Amino acid sequence: MKVAIISDTHGSFDNVIEEIEKHNIDLIIHLGDFSDDGRDIGLITNKISYVVKGNNDYLANNELEDLFINLNGIDFFITHGHRYNVYRGVGNLVKRAKKANAKIALYGHTHVYFNEVVDGVWVINPGSPSYPRYGDDKSFVILDLDTMELERIKFRRSKWKLY
């Protein structure tokens, strides 16, 4: 099963659609900040999507801030990250994931790619495919749950459409 992990699209996700179709994605996880984009990406690609709301999802009253799911027997903790002070590190995020026995914690908010095992929890931030920060590349990630390999999909700035 291939899972697209996307965050912080802020209304701009055209190239994400192209990449999802090209890589035969099975499932989409959107980590907030324009959570409607996550729903729209799922509808456009005809894929199931899990979505959490971020700090800029003021009107997303039906979305949760934290979500716990099990995919292929692996427990995931999914959040935008703003409630866990992720700009100062992932310690609070890891504590929450461990409390729920999650093996993988997904977050966004910083718009910066992160991929590291911290205290036994695999912590992943896909970055932002729309508005990266601090010189990071525009990106999202694909996690293949059958092989447990992570692929970072980067976009060249000249290729990206901004509206």
pLDDT in tens, 40-91: 999 999 999 999 999 988 877 788 999 999 999 999 999 999 999 999 999 9
Question: Alpha helix (H) ranges present in 13-163?
Answer: 14-22, 35-45, 91-99
The residue ranges of every structural domain in the chain are 2-155
pLDDT, tens only, 106-138: 999 999 999 999 999 999 999 999 998 998 999
pLDDT, tens digit (0-9, with 9 covering 90-100), for 134-162: 989 999 999 999 999 999 999 865 444 44
* Whole-number Å distance between alpha carbons of 156 and 89: 28
Please give the model's pTM, rounded to 2 decimal places.
0.92
- Structure-token match 């959490």, residue found: 52
CA distance 72 to 64: 22
Burial (Cβ within 10 Å: 0-12, 13-18, ≥19) of residue 148: exposed
Residue 6, token pair as written in the block: 């996307």
Residues 6+ apart with CB under 8 A from 46: none
- What average pLDDT does the segment 3-15 reach? 92
Q: What is the pLDDT of residue 20?
A: 92
Q: Is 94 helix (H, G, I), strand (E, B) or coil?
A: helix
**Which sign does the torsion angle of CA 140, 73, 80, 90 carry?**
negative
Q: Does CATH place domain 2-155 in 3.60.21.10?
A: yes
